[in-house]
Amino acid sequence: MTARIRRRAGRRPGNPDTRQQILDAAREAFAEGGFDGASIRQIATSAGVDPALVHHYFGTKEQLFLEMLQLPIDPREFLPQVLAGDKHEIGVRLVGTFLRVWDSPAGTAAAALLRSAMTNDWTVRLLREFLVTQVLRRVLAHIEPDPAEAPLRVSLVASQIAGMAMMRYIIKLEPLASAPPDTVIRAVAPTIQRYLTGDISGSAPATT
């Protein structure tokens, strides 16, 4: 912890090689053990440094995870505004915020990342860890649904949001690719809202 004293504002601390060693060890640890399974102690050991140095360079385990992912979009910035306010308007706020962020230059970088993340099992696993621990858990903690249904609800939300990202920004399927945000919100927000707070186990007839 004495290391913290040496920290200077406006400048990333540390030897670039050591930082990179820690990030490499972190990537492996998070991909293998998941976010919950990985520990700063284990990452430090495999990078050959003291755990205090890892904390000094990167802060908490969560901060290290996000730094390692190098996401162009940080969920800590946009999730609070999505989650604040009326629970029954969360679909509208989620789709609206999603479109605002992804229609921006950061969205172009996010689309590139999503494309490349899908190409191998390692990056797919990291993407899943990110979704579960950084996004979905926070949404869940906020909406407080029936605990038995909650995990399915958030994975359904993830499916519609991921599919929208894929069709609007990667496959660029028209007219969804260039539809005005309001059009997309009107169409998609009710889906998100039903997945979060509506009936998801209703009376659909059995398939043929």
User: Apex CA 204: angle with CA 201 and CA 207, to 5°?
Assistant: 120
Per DSSP, the three-state class of 161 is helix
Contact between 143 and a copy of itself per CB under 8 A? no
Contact between 105 and a copy of itself per CB under 8 A? no
Q: Using CB under 8 A, which of 22, 44, 54, 164 touches a copy of itself?
A: 164
Question: Are 194 and 157 contacting, i.e. CB atoms less than 8 angstroms apart?
Answer: no
Q: Using CB under 8 A, which of 15, 20, 63, 81 touches a copy of itself?
A: 81
Which has the closest alpha carbon to 164: 154, 153, 155, 173? 173
Contact between 169 and a copy of itself per CB under 8 A? no
Contact between 71 and a copy of itself per CB under 8 A? no
- Closer CB to a copy of itself, 12 or 100, in the complex: 100
Element of type H or E holding 97 = helix 90-102
For residue 85 the two structure tokens come to: 């306010």
Alpha-carbon span 49 to 44, nearest angstrom:
5
- CB neighbourhood size of 106 (10 A): 15
Among the listed ranges 11-19, 39-47, 49-57, 170-178, the one in contact with a copy of itself (CB under 8 A) is 170-178
Name the site residues for a copy of itself (rule: CB under 8 A): 81, 89, 91-93, 95-97, 100, 114-116, 118-119, 124, 127-128, 131-132, 151-152, 155-156, 158-164, 166-168, 170-177, 179, 181-183, 185-191, 194-195, 200-202, 204-208
